[in-house]
Structure 1
């Protein structure tokens, strides 16, 4: 009997084989980095030939770009889900981080994959990362506009500064979490909730803007 057109090696459907390759490649790229990961390593771990990997993804760069697209889509989908759940302001921010922790709790290599400094800075991978970043930034801007609008702040530069600040906070929390594998998603959510609550608490001392004289005296 002839093999099915959509079948991979040993009768495995192509779609299933691709998912398995992406799972293995994402772990390798996210653990060892793009520069230290070869197609041969991925093929060996998957129990297939390099030729098959190339036939599916074209090149190492193509395989890497496919892994990034899957990783970026995973996070963006979770962030979009929170954006539509009715939460707003600080609550939306905390829920967003909680969702990211939950979805990556058993696959933190996905975050390292997206932050890999050894990855190509141009080509397919860079294009995928740019698309993912734009999608995430648009959601962040939506949340910031809602938050600042409630406080009567509409200045474009204020909004831009706050979007960049929030994205930096998210990156910092995620980087810290990945560097502390003993902290699970539930513990990290509690920590973030506690820390952000302290920042926005009515009991937190209000900091007045410095006067021009104080600004001139600053180091």
Structure 2
């Protein structure tokens, strides 16, 4: 995980670099503690600046959260769209999507929990912006799972909907496991997922489970 510099508050640091250090520290704080428990003084302390200076650069707590949310939301959406676009949805698409997600999060893995933060105040701008990203990602997942089910011979829309829920929970579970194993590179995780998928396919094809 990225560790922000403790020298951001010293004179001579370019303003754009100082603000980025603040955003990196805030992303880590929000990702680890969640929006509700995240502390602006703790974020300021991570980079060696005052809370007042943090406010001057990044605004309110909600504005700071949104400034952290947008880059990760955009990166993940771009990664998923790129993974799904080459030749349409096919058997290798899930692994391409996972590789894209792992690559997009590498160096800042806790950003996943910034995007999927269940402690956001309902009705606020932060919750609205997060929900927009959730909806966009869900739409991509819905399209992909529908294509996979059609390729498997199922025209039942409920099959595709059920698979979308399975996929969403699977991705979240794999990312959580990955965060706990920082030694695992995106490529290593992709290969691990390929082995897990192969094992699952073997189980489902076993006549004892038919």
Counterpart position of 1:34:
35
Map of 1:135 onto structure 2: 136
Matched, 1:12 2:14: yes
Asked if the contact 2:44/2:54 (under 8 Å) is kept, the reply is: yes
| CA distance in structure 1 between the aligned counterparts of 2:100 and 2:38, rounded to whole angstroms | 29
The Cα RMSD (Å) is 2.5
Q: For the Cα contact (< 8 Å) 2:66–2:126, is it kept in 1?
A: yes
* Distance in 1 between residues matched to 2:162 and 2:111, nearest whole Å: 27
The farther-off stretch of 189-198 and 32-41 is 32-41
- Which runs of at least 4 in structure 1 moved beyond 6 Å after TM superposition? none
Residue of structure 1 in register with 2:126 after alignment: 125
Q: Could you list the runs of 5+ residues in structure 1 that have no partner in the other structure? A: 1-8, 209-219
Provide the residue aligned with 2:8 in structure 1: none
Q: CA deviation at 1:56?
A: 4.0
**Corresponding residue number in structure 1 for 2:147:** 146
- Deviation at residue 90 of structure 1 after TM alignment: 2.8
Larger radius of gyration: 1
1:1-219 pair list within 5 angstroms: 12-13=14-15, 15-86=16-87, 88-201=89-202, 204-206=205-207, 207-208=209-210
Change beyond 3 A, Cα 1:200–1:72: same
TM-score normalised to the size of structure 1?
Answer: 0.78
CA contact (8 A) 1:108 1:178 kept: yes
Q: Structure 2 unaligned segments of length 5 or more: list them.
A: 1-10
